[in-house]
Amino acid sequence: MINKRKIGNTNIEVSELGFGCAPLGGWPVAVSDQDANLSLETAWIKGIRYFDTAPLYGSGMSEKRLGNFLQKQKREDFVISTKVGRLIVDTKKSKAVEKFIGSPQDKDSVFNFTYDGAMQSIEDSLKRLGLDKIDILYLHDPDNHPDHFEDAKKGAVKAMIQLRDEGVVKAIGCGMNQNEMLIEFAKEGCFDCFLLAGRYTLIDQTSLDELIPVCQKNNISLVLGGVFNSGILIDPSPNTYFDYSKLDNNWNKNLTESLVRKPKNFETAEYWLQKAYKLRDACNKFSLELKQAAIQFPYDNSIVSSCLLGMTSSTQVNENIELYNKKIDKEFWEYLKENNLIRN
């Protein structure tokens, strides 16, 4: 059984566990059509009813695969979100195939935060999905270039508001890996939800400082991505990743150059590894899996509506749902607070 929660002031209810469809676009490994469909079928049977995708994921491949599956379901039975901020274009040599394995060789994505670009993006997405309406539309990664924030406010955000007014989408949001720009977007007063990756997790609760209070004040729900913080909350070691960068001596430099976010002065690979090791040891003390604690941590905060998990097989789907449903005693969370492993 998977519970549902509301999105902001809307009438949208999403399953607490959502299916993150980036893997259906071939990230980080190739996924066959058959395995993609089987993963979606298993998620559906187990009660997942919220599916998040984007044009970026496999240059449209994720949207097509998801759309093909959802054609078999009643429209009122699921919630779907996709994103604007990039357009899929024809190309002779795709760079996207280096990240999204198995994606089309003749397609790539380009940033476009203009009004017309957003309108074109949603039109293209609807065609790939085989739908005429979207439940939630996110602004995707407007933090990858200094000009994108202002470009989006002047263009794409206005398009998103119009699409909501026209009923093409029910809710609008913004998705990224950092707190700071989302705080600024919250001040615009138009968003229903934010898709926040990595900043409200078992290991990193920095969104509690400013972002979550601002969201609570403005009734903006949080949909969370990256609950495992790229792998450190599954099996921490110097060979795992945090914020998409390997936790080696070059972690700080690589994270900075990736533009995912700017690391704070105190952050080092060793800092995060030691914190992860302590969390893992605490889980062992209570005979829990670190992964289980990472999945269940966010739900104690009522501002969280759903956690998106990227899954590439029916086995992963079954495992994650089992960990979601497996009870954790309150004593464990109290122990983490008492030992300053999570924030109060």
Give Cα separations from 327 to 85, 112, 222, 292 (angstroms): 39, 44, 23, 9
In a domain, 271, yes or no: no
Q: Which tokens is 74 given?
A: 């009643």
In a domain, 265, yes or no: no
The CATH number assigned to the domain holding 107 equals 3.20.20.100
pLDDT in tens, 160-181: 999 999 999 999 999 999 999 9
In a domain, 50, yes or no: yes
pLDDT in tens, 204-239: 999 999 999 999 999 999 999 999 999 999 999 999
Q: How many CB atoms lie within 10 A of CB 275?
A: 17
- The reported pTM is 0.96
Classify residue 87 by its DSSP letter. Answer: E
| DSSP calls for 154-185 | HTHHHHHHHHHHTTSEEEEEEEES-SHHHHHH
Which of these is catalytic: 46, 50, 64, 83?
83
Rounded distance, CA 292 to CA 162, Å? 40
> What mean pLDDT, rounded, does the chain reach?
96
Number of structural domains the chain divides into: 1
Task: Specify whether 244 is catalytic.
Answer: no
Q: Are residues 230 and 244 in contact, defined by beta-carbon separation less than 8 angstroms?
A: yes
pLDDT band with cut points at 50, 70 and 90 for residue 110? very high
Whether the ω angle into residue 28 lies within 30 degrees of 0, i.e. cis, is: yes
Which of these is catalytic: 57, 115, 138, 244?
57
Question: What is the rounded average pLDDT of the residues 255-269?
Answer: 91
Is residue 258 scored above 90 in pLDDT? Answer: no
Question: What is the rounded average pLDDT of the residues 45-61?
Answer: 98
pLDDT in tens, 286-309: 999 999 999 999 999 999 999 999
pLDDT band with cut points at 50, 70 and 90 for residue 24? very high
Task: Specify whether 115 is catalytic.
Answer: no
Is residue 68 scored above 90 in pLDDT? Answer: yes
In a domain, 165, yes or no: yes
In a domain, 274, yes or no: no
Which of these is catalytic: 46, 50, 52, 324?
52
Amino acid at 193: C
Task: Specify whether 50 is catalytic.
Answer: no
Classify residue 262 by its DSSP letter. Answer: P
Rounded distance, CA 298 to CA 201, Å? 6
In a domain, 49, yes or no: yes
User: For 273, how many CA atoms within 13 A lie in the half-sphere containing its CB?
Assistant: 15
Amino acid at 46: K
Domain extent for 190: 4-235+290-333
In a domain, 259, yes or no: no
- What interhelical angle do 61-70 and 33-46 show, nearest 10? 50
N-term to C-term CA, the chain: 29
* pLDDT, position 128: 98
Q: Where are the beta strands (DSSP E) in the chain?
A: 4-6, 13-15, 17-20, 50-52, 79-84, 86-90, 107-111, 134-140, 169-176, 193-197, 221-225, 241-242, 245-246, 304-310
In a domain, 282, yes or no: no
